Amino acid sequence: MLLANLYAAALRYYGTPAHVVELPDPLRALDSGEVTVVPGFTGQLLQTFAPGTRGAGDEQVYKAMVGVLPEGVGAGDFATAAEDKPAAVVTEGTATAWGGRDLPILVKHCTQIRAGALRGAVVPAAVGKCRLAPPREFGSSAELFEALSGGQINIAWATTADPDVPGTVVALADGKPSLIQAQNAVPLYRRNELTARQVLALNEVAGVLDTATLKQMRQQVDDGADPRAVADAWLVENPLGR
């Protein structure tokens, strides 16, 4: 809902009335014309329209996604600095013992991995040449990170924009080439129903949104703030068109 409110705020910024509706299947609603814009993340959308498609880099995943969109659906610019892809989180002790703070250390220590994740979370089946066993599942972020700190697991799968990741742990950085499929914020819209100015409004979000800000805004919403108010406040602080 937060991401949808950000794009709705961008449309309102340039004078287009826009509001967010909560639907069980937004992409089907987009296809049927019930809604005009549906935001998401590039990798998730790619897997929805073409399950099993490989590729990890930002541009590669975006182009692959655009290539499999349904007829009549277009994609705006993706936010190169705003992503929410799976992140492998370890303790400082593990990072020190394994000798690194980036994803390639998982490949080097593949046989030692004992991973955990939130119940129902989508996590990578492999990182590079390292095939991963299904993670142990937890019912809450608190339980997941308590298990990490207690040594029951040595990797906790979270996401890069997850506000529940404690500041005392290490989220292993992906590199180039990427080892985990990109998940950049992107708006989908119905072709021929938006003006050029409206499409530009959606595209301008890509130039100002970043992962850290997305994470902060999610925390505000988790703390009870209204998503529309959070999005509007962000736009006041980050005017479009500059």
**Torsion angles phi and psi, residue 179, rounded to 5:** -100, -20
Does the N-terminal peptide bond of residue 177 adopt cis geometry, omega within 30 degrees of 0? yes
Mean pLDDT confidence for 68-79: 95
Tens digit of each residue's pLDDT (9 = 90 or more) over 124-139? 999 989 999 999 999 9
Averaged pLDDT of the chain: 94
- CATH code of the domain occupying 2-82+181-237: 3.40.190.10
| Same-fold call for 2-82+181-237 versus 86-171 | yes
Using DSSP, how many helices (H) and how many strands (E) does the chain show? 10, 10
Confidence of residue 58 (pLDDT cuts 50, 70, 90): very high
Tens digit of each residue's pLDDT (9 = 90 or more) over 88-126? 999 999 999 999 999 999 999 999 999 999 999 999 999
pLDDT, residue 1, reads 87
Instruction: Tell how far CA 51 is from the center of its chain.
Output: 17
**Which 8-state DSSP code applies to residue 139?**
S
Confidence of residue 211 (pLDDT cuts 50, 70, 90): very high
Residue type, 69: L
pLDDT, residue 242, reads 62
pLDDT, residue 175, reads 80
pLDDT, residue 213, reads 96
The conformational region for residue 72 under phi > 0 = left, psi -120 to 50 = alpha, else beta, is left
Side-chain half-sphere CA neighbours of 172 within 13 A: 27
Domain boundary assignment for the chain: 2-82+181-237, 86-171
Tens digit of each residue's pLDDT (9 = 90 or more) over 141-198? 999 999 999 999 999 999 999 999 999 999 999 988 899 999 999 999 999 899 999 9
| Strand boundaries in the chain, DSSP class E | 37-41, 73-75, 86-90, 115-118, 126-127, 130-131, 136-138, 155-159, 170-171, 185-190
Confidence of residue 228 (pLDDT cuts 50, 70, 90): very high
- Whether the pLDDT of residue 24 is over 70: the answer is yes
Three-state DSSP state, 170:
strand
pLDDT, residue 89, reads 98
Give the CATH class of 86-171.
alpha beta
| Strand boundaries in 135-221, DSSP class E | 136-138, 155-159, 170-171, 185-190
User: The pTM is what?
Assistant: 0.92
pLDDT, residue 55, reads 86
Mean pLDDT confidence for 210-227: 96
- Whether the pLDDT of residue 241 is over 80: the answer is no
